[in-house]
């Protein structure tokens, strides 16, 4: 394990004096794609020993700028100056050679190779074709240690590491090229707080070695806490570059969106008059060894949040209710009657739907249109004779939901691949709203989407609850759980450890609860 | 970003669709003209008819194969299924004096039964389709040959319906080719206009997401394997009609030609991408090339080699087009 992680940044700041001349300057960068100006005269610079955050909504131009920086795209106009020398990069290899290393969101590791082999993949041979395993391992060990990591053995297969550890290996891999500039694209998105802290502790270390770090994230809190400067992009234009010391989250969010953030989370409670009735009741639900004896009820028109540390069993509960989990036992009742849910088809028949946290793998049909993505489960009701798709009716409904959900798309027949993450998520949400089911279950509904889309999804949930739908939201983001739930179920180690009413919930209580604090009661609570 | 990226992506994907669709049509026209002007016999009416007749067998089997490839599978057993259906139908007519249509029905049912077996092993027992259909390729050829033993290992099909299909013309088209075009229209409607078609693309594009959307994935995939065996069975009957006999080698190697046609048509073997209209174009390219080589007196072994290179060329061309536009 690493030595005590610290989140104090001033100390690391002082360790390496920022020099006058930035290590990297990008001047007047313009990038045009067919029909769109992705970047318009953008200036960007990073200095040695700073963590510089690129801030903007999905599609503001962050990825384009990052891809230009890492040599994936060539800019149409503009100059890139590295260490005082104008450079032209036409390939990622050249960027690496110039000392620009990029850690992409999608990790590029081979699960069945060892950590060492992954780090030096393609560069193993020192003489001819013979791989000297000892030398590869010892060089890999050096890189890992330089990162300050002690709990990863270079001989372990990457597939056996946790996601957070894999990410460290990916960073080590990039570090092995000795970059002067390190670009990280949303590295914290899949991480829990503990791993995020550790990551920043490592980044502070690299920073003190004089490496310039470009950091992309959607989480304002960590940006403010750990980054030195930020460059804000909106619609492909540079808004401003600011010092992040002492700025507030709201100010940051507002300058990113370009308008006032009003009620970000909803504030009205839905179940004050408790005449609502029980929509879903779970009794003694167990899933293998991951979930044990969980019981709770979900009222009509209620939003219940389930939270816990990653792997505490909350995802399995949600998946069990949709029939996509093995080894499920316990009783599930819908409107008072016990039901069997062995497959998504069963669940849908019972009026239950699920949005999982894995949008690309479990939600989207990337090569199909937005319309087709939205109507798939409802296709039967758009069909003539039960078999032929009624295109007119289908298009009408698609358009209706595109308007209602405010999905930004040129036409219903655009490919869903071309939408931003937030709009993709809204399209999947629309898929189930169109089906008009009673119980909606979401796992991490706002993961990896920008703040504007987040706010819209929160207000959609609010409206749905007001219409009498019952909503279960599984989330590891505590502010989100706090902001939207009428009631919060906390899971710890596979058990339902605590139920917290909205009125008495706070971030501190939740934080303690997810670490196993039962609030004094000591026994397994039942969710109402 | 929404607006910007959406319009950008939309335009790019439309352009890509257009270019890759159009490029296949262009290749067909270019080959047709080139072959016509470099061989005296290529443009002869008889030769054009011959090409259409040759296309019909590969083309019909390629319909089912396109669907199997769309769901991310493959079916190597189609040549044996062609033998089984034609062998059973032929034997029932020649040896037992069955009514032609009843015999055809039984032959096609037997073909579908192979599809049930393929689908069951692939989808219920989760065995790789390559392994399963390689197994049925061998087993069903054996079974088909066993059926033929009843009558000295081959059957002469002397039947008015079979003769009619082989000889008759509709308008200016050979009937056998018209049948193929008809089946393509049905298949295109099925894939584009029906729920089943939409489900097939969805499953091929993202099977996990299809499951989570509540589609009966296993049932649909089994149905697709059955449809593939069904079209293979029809291809077998058409072969019997054209040649007038069913012998033990009928349909041998059909899977190579058919997979070649599907790939030439631009379908992705990873599933989810492909269109039956383009498979028809792929079939046309393959058959025209083979026909031309025969006209130029190129020996059969070399024709096989050319077929192989065609597949590679198609894959490379497809990738180039995609990269240029993307």
**Percentage of the residues of chain B whose pLDDT score is greater than 90:** 64
Q: How far apart are CA A315 and CA A52, in angstroms?
A: 34
In the prediction, which pLDDT does A282 show? 94
DSSP-derived pairing of the beta strands A278-287 and A487-492: unpaired
For residue A287, the SS3 value is strand
In the prediction, which pLDDT does A488 show? 93
In the prediction, which pLDDT does B71 show? 95
Chain B CB contacts of A372 under 8 Å are: 198, 201-202
Chain A CB contacts of B15 under 8 Å are: 34
Q: List, in sequence order, every beta strand (DSSP E) within A288-350.
A: 291-299, 303-308, 328-334, 337-339
Q: For A381-432, give the secondary structure using H, E and C.
A: HHEECCCEECHHHHHHHHHHHHHHCCCCCCCCCCEHHHCCHHHHHHHHHHHH
How many contiguous H segments (helices) and E segments (strands) does chain B have? 13, 4
In the prediction, which pLDDT does A12 show? 41
Q: For residues B229 and B114, is the Cβ–Cβ distance under 8 A?
A: yes
Best interface-test mutation with B: which of A38, A76, A362, A435 has the largest number of B CBs within 10 A? A362
Give, for B173, the enclosing helix (H) or strand (E): strand B173-174
pLDDT tens series, chain B, 326 aa: 333 333 333 444 455 556 666 778 888 999 999 999 998 889 998 899 999 999 999 999 999 999 999 999 999 999 999 999 999 999 999 888 899 999 999 999 999 999 999 999 999 899 999 999 999 999 999 999 888 877 777 888 888 999 998 888 888 889 999 999 999 999 999 999 999 999 999 999 999 999 999 999 999 999 999 999 999 999 999 999 999 999 999 999 999 999 999 999 988 888 888 999 999 999 999 999 999 999 988 888 888 888 888 888 877 876 776 554 43
Q: For residues A222 and A246, is the Cβ–Cβ distance under 8 A?
A: no
Note whether A420 contacts B195, CB cutoff 8 Å.
no
Best interface-test mutation with B: which of A31, A32, A34 has the largest number of B CBs within 10 A? A34
In the prediction, which pLDDT does A521 show? 54
Residue-wise burial string across A486-524, b where 16 or more C-beta atoms lie within 10 A, e elsewhere: bbbbbbbebbbbbbbebeebeeebbeebbeeebeeeeee
In the prediction, which pLDDT does A130 show? 64
In the prediction, which pLDDT does B137 show? 96
Chain B CB contacts of A426 under 8 Å are: none
Chain A and chain B share a number of CB contacts under 8 A equal to 135
pTM of structure:
0.74
Model pLDDT for residues B166-199, shown as the tens digit of each residue = 888 888 889 999 999 999 999 999 999 999 999 9
In the prediction, which pLDDT does A8 show? 43
In the prediction, which pLDDT does A382 show? 87
Which value, in Å, is the radius of gyration of the alpha carbons in chain B?
Answer: 20
For residue A282, the SS3 value is strand
Structure tokens at B132: 């399963």
Main-chain dihedrals φ then ψ at residue A318, nearest 5 degrees: -60, -45
Shortest CB distance from B194 goes to which of A235, A324, A388?
Answer: A388
Q: List, in sequence order, every beta strand (DSSP E) within A448-528.
A: 470-474, 487-492, 495-501
Q: How far apart are CA B236 and CA B85, in angstroms?
A: 6
Chain A CB contacts of B206 under 8 Å are: 361-362, 364-366
The C-alpha of A420 sits at a distance from chain B's nearest C-alpha, in angstroms, of 6
In the prediction, which pLDDT does B1 show? 34
In the prediction, which pLDDT does A11 show? 41
Shortest CB distance from B13 goes to which of A33, A236, A418?
Answer: A418
Structure tokens at B176: 């056998």
Best interface-test mutation with B: which of A216, A368, A392, A433 has the largest number of B CBs within 10 A? A368
Residue ranges for chain A with pLDDT beneath 50: 1-18, 261-263, 273-275, 522
Structure tokens at B22: 């159009």
In the prediction, which pLDDT does A260 show? 54
Flag whether residue A356 sits within 8 Å of chain B, measured between CB atoms. yes
């Amino acid at each position: 394990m690493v030595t005590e992680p610290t989140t104090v940044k001033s100390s690391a700041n002082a360790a390496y004096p920022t020099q006058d001349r930035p290590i990297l300057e990008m001047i007047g960068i313009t990038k045009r794609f067919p029909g769109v100006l992705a970047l318009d005269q953008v200036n960007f610079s990073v200095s040695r020993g700073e963590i510089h955050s690129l801030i903007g909504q999905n599609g503001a131009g962050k990825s384009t700028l990052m891809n230009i920086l890492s040599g994936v795209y060539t800019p149409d106009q503009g100059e890139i100056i590295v260490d005082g020398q104008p450079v032209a990069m036409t390939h990622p290899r050249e960027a690496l050679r110039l000392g620009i290393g990029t850690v992409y969101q999608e990790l590029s590791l081979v699960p069945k190779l060892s950590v060492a082999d992954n780090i030096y993949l393609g560069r193993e041979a020192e003489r001819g074709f013979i791989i000297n395993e000892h030398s590869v391992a010892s060089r890999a060990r050096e890189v890992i240690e330089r990162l300050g990591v002690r709990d990863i053995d270079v001989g372990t297969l990457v597939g056996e590491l946790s996601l957070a550890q894999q990410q460290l290996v990916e960073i080590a891999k990039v570090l092995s090229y000795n970059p002067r500039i390190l670009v990280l694209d949303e590295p914290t998105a899949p991480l829990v707080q503990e791993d995020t802290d550790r990551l920043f502790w490592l980044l502070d270390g690299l920073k003190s070695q004089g490496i310039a770090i470009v950091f992309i994230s959607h989480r304002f809190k960590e940006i403010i806490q750990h980054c030195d400067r930020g460059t804000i992009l909106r619609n492909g234009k540079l808004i401003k570059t600011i010092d992040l010391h002492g700025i507030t989250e709201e100010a940051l969010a507002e300058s990113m969106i370009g308008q006032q953030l009003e009620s970000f989370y909803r504030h009205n409670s839905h179940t004050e008059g408790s005449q609502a009735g029980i929509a879903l009741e779970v009794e003694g639900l167990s899933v293998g060894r991951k979930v044990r004896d969980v019981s709770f009820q979900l009222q009509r028109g209620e939003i219940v949040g389930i939270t816990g540390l990653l792997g505490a069993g909350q995802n399995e509960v949600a998946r069990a209710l949709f029939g996509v989990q093995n080894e499920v036992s316990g009783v599930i009742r819908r409107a008072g009657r016990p039901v069997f849910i062995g497959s998504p088809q069963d669940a849908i028949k019972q009026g239950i739907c699920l949005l999982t946290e894995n949008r690309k793998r479990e939600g989207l049909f990337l090569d199909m249109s937005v319309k087709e993505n939205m109507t798939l489960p409802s296709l039967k009701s758009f069909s003539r004779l039960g078999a032929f798709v009624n295109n007119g009716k289908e298009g009408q409904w698609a358009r209706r939901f595109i308007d209602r959900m405010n999905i930004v798309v040129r036409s219903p027949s655009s490919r869903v691949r071309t939408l931003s993450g937030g709009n993709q998520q809204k399209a999947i949400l629309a898929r189930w709203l169109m089906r008009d089911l009673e119980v909606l279950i979401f796992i991490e509904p706002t993961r990896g989407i920008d703040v504007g889309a987040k706010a819209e999804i929160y207000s959609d949930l609010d409206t749905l609850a007001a219409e009498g739908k019952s909503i279960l939201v599984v989330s590891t983001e505590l502010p989100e759980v706090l902001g939207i739930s009428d009631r919060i179920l906390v899971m710890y180690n596979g058990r339902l450890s605590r139920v917290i009413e909205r009125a008495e919930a706070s971030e501190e209580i939740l934080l303690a609860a997810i670490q196993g604090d039962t609030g004094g009661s000591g026994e397994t609570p039942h969710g109402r | 970003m929404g607006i910007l990226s959406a319009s950008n992506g939309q335009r790019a994907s439309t352009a890509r669709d257009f270019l890759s669709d159009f490029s296949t049509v262009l290749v067909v026209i270019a080959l047709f003209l080139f072959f016509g002007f470099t061989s005296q016999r290529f443009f002869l009416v008889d030769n054009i008819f011959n090409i259409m007749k040759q296309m019909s067998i590969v083309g019909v089997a390629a319909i089912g194969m396109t669907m199997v490839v769309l769901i991310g599978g493959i079916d190597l057993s189609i040549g044996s299924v062609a033998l089984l259906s034609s062998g059973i139908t032929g034997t029932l007519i020649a040896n037992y004096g069955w009514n032609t249509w009843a015999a055809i029905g039984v032959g096609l049912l037997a073909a579908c039964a192979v599809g049930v077996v393929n689908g069951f092993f692939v989808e219920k027992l989760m065995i790789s389709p390559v392994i399963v259909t390689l197994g049925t390729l061998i087993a069903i050829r054996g079974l088909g040959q066993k059926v033929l033993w009843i009558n000295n290992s081959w059957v002469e099909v002397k039947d008015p319906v079979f003769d009619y299909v082989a000889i008759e013309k509709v308008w200016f088209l050979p009937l056998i080719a018209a049948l193929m075009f008809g089946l393509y229209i049905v298949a295109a409607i099925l894939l584009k206009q029906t729920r089943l078609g939409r489900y097939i693309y969805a499953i091929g594009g993202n099977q996990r997401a299809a499951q989570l959307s509540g589609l009966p994935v296993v049932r649909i995939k089994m149905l697709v394997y059955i449809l593939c065996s069904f079209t293979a069975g029809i291809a077998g009957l058409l072969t019997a009609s054209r040649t007038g006999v069913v012998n033990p080698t009928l349909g041998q190697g059909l899977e190579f030609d058919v997979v070649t046609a599907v790939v030439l048509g631009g379908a992705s073997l990873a599933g989810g991408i492909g269109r039956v209209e383009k498979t028809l174009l792929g079939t046309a390219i393959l058959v025209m090339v083979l026909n031309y080589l025969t006209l130029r007196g190129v020996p059969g072994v070399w024709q096989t080699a050319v077929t192989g290179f065609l597949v590679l060329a198609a894959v490379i061309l497809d990738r180039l087009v995609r990269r240029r536009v993307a």
